[in-house]
């Protein structure tokens, strides 16, 4: 059986994208998979041996995540797909009413501007009027937001609200093509608003330079027809999902990581929501985000274009949609697939007996089941300055770098030993319990997970986290290195 491994899980599978594993049932395949790849057990299962909530398993296009299906025969199945959160049917009518469409007039300039749309039988004048009448919220003006905002503006969407709290940095320009060097240090929403106005000054652009939270999520999307999720963190994705479900607004979901992307339409025509697909996000640090793991620059354009395309089809009322389906694109392996996703009757927000009735803030670690117990030992750490001082003083210690190989290649930490998190438990004998061991990663999150992983495996030596990770330490100078780290 061919098992396809999504990019965010590759660190548990020796960086391999697929594997040939024997087995006549899902249970047998998973068992043999963890024998072949011992580190995979940590990535796939929690401490109670349960499949982690942010992972879905598909046999060809059928969702077989439910353990009740794990002993069913895989006869006729060609492949198994392990799909983590990174995060069909043809509609009969547009999400824009005929009344609103009829209120729109197209002038001579509009006819010239949108002539390529008007020539398409499925769009024509009626479809273009619906586009002009539409009100869309794009949350995130970064990598995914860049193509989404530009294509929605170019298509003539009448009202676009852009929500983001960040400023443009030089590092954004590699994939966030909405912004240019002149926009560095400007709010992303201000830069985005300028670009939209340069495309079409008839578009109403609402720039919201705010951080999305439980208090403002519902109000930010109130009165709009559609929301496009272009964020890059799990907490925002669940807040957006819940706000859309409770407000009855369809959501176009998109996510990217390294060379892979995902797109779906959620909360549409009584279809599934994000919590149906992924009941819980990955634990902090368990899998890297796109900010930690990087993405190839065209990927955001590919996935963002898919999102804009899905949004326009919803607005116009044409074609097949990704409602109840998820598109996965692997640009490195030149593979794509569409898998079916089902509405969960027990979903806490869109199920038959919802327990979430308003947008609520949540503790990320508690939501992931990682809330520290009262008797749990807290993770201690050093600031970059404290660690640099100890290194300069020649203190004996062991430094473990749990980052990915490509991250270490960008910025090397002098004297550090590279051990992936998935290998820590079986390689703990390489550590000296008589010495302090300091764990480092990019942002100081995966290193906390590394410490807890070793504690669970029984390691008793003193362990410390580098607070803020390499991002916080990039400007520290070690005298014995005679240069910047």
Catalytic residue annotation: 290, 441
Instruction: Measure the CA dihedral 387/390/395/401, to 10°.
Output: 20
In sequence order, what DSSP letters do the residues of 310-362 get, joined into one string? HHHHHHHT-S---BTEEEEEETTTTEEEEEE----TT-TTTSSS-S--S----
Sheet of 260-266, strands arranged across: 204-208, 159-163, 135-139, 226-229, 251-257, 260-266, 325-330, 335-340
Distance CA 310, CA 250 (A): 11
Count how many Cα atoms sit within 13 Å of the Cα of residue 168 in the half-sphere of its side chain: 25
φ and ψ at 457, to 5 degrees?
Answer: -80, -5
Whether the CB-CB separation of 290 and 262 falls below 8 Å is answered with no
Determine the distance from the C-alpha atom of residue 388 to the mean position of all C-alpha atoms in its chain, rounded to a whole number.
33
Three-class secondary structure of residue 370 per DSSP: coil
Three-class secondary structure of residue 27 per DSSP: helix
C-alpha closest to that of 193 among 217, 161, 151: 161
321 contact partners, CB below 8 Å, separation of at least 6: 88, 89, 90, 91, 265, 268, 310, 313, 314
Count how many Cα atoms sit within 13 Å of the Cα of residue 317 in the half-sphere of its side chain: 16
Tokens of 81: 């797909």
φ and ψ at 336, to 5 degrees?
Answer: -145, 150
The gap between the terminal CA atoms of the chain, to the nearest Å, is: 46
C-alpha closest to that of 15 among 411, 234, 428, 333: 333
């Amino acid at each position: 059986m061919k098992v396809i491994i999504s990019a965010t899980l590759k660190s548990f599978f020796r960086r391999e994208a697929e594997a040939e594993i024997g087995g006549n049932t899902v249970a047998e395949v998973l068992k043999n998979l963890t024998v072949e790849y011992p580190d995979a057990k940590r990535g796939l299962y929690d401490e109670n041996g349960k499949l982690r909530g942010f992972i879905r398993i598909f046999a060809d296009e059928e969702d077989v995540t439910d353990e009740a299906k794990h002993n069913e025969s895989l006869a006729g199945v060609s492949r198994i797909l392990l799909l983590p959160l990174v995060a069909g049917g043809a509609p009969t009518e547009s999400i824009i009413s005929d009344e609103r469409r009829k209120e729109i007039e197209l002038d001579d300039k509009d006819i010239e501007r949108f002539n390529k749309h008007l020539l398409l039988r499925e769009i024509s004048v009626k479809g273009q009027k619906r586009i002009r009448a539409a009100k869309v919220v794009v949350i995130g003006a970064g990598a995914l937001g860049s193509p989404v905002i530009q294509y929605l503006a170019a298509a003539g969407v009448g009202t676009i609200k852009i929500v983001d709290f960040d400023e443009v940095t030089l590092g954004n320009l590699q994939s966030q093509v909405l912004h240019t060097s002149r926009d560095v240090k400007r709010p992303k929403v201000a830069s985005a608003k300028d670009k939209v106005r340069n495309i079409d000054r008839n578009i109403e652009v609402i720039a919201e330079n705010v951080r999305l939270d439980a208090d403002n999520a519902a109000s930010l999307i109130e009165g709009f027809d559609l929301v496009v999720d272009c964020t890059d963190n799990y907490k925002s994705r669940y807040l957006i999902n819940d706000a859309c479900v409770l407000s009855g607004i369809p959501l176009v979901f998109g996510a990217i990581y390294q060379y892979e992307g995902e797109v779906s339409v959620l909360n549409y025509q009584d279809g599934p929501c994000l919590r149906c697909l992924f009941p819980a996000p990955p634990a902090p640090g368990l899998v890297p985000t796109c900010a930690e793991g990087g993405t190839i620059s065209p990927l955001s354009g590919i996935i963002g274009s898919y999102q804009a395309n899905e949004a326009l089809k919803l607005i116009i009322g044409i074609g097949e949609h990704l409602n109840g389906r998820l598109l996965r694109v692997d640009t490195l392996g030149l593979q794509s697939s569409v898998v079916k996703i089902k509405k969960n009757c027990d979903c806490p927000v869109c199920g038959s007996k919802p327990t979430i009735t308003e947008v609520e803030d949540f503790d990320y670690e508690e939501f992931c089941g990682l809330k520290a117990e009262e008797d749990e030992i807290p993770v201690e750490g050093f600031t970059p300055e404290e660690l640099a001082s100890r290194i300069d003083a020649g203190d004996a210690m062991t430094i473990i770098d749990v980052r990915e190989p490509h991250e270490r290649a960008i910025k090397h930490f002098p004297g550090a030993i590279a051990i992936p998190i998935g290998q820590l438990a079986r390689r703990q004998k390489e550590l000296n319990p008589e010495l302090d061991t300091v764990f480092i990663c990019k942002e100081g999150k995966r290193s906390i997970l590394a410490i807890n992983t070793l504690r669970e495996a029984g390691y008793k030596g003193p362990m410390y986290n580098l607070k803020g990770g390499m991002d916080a330490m990039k400007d520290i100078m070690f005298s014995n290195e005679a240069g910047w780290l």
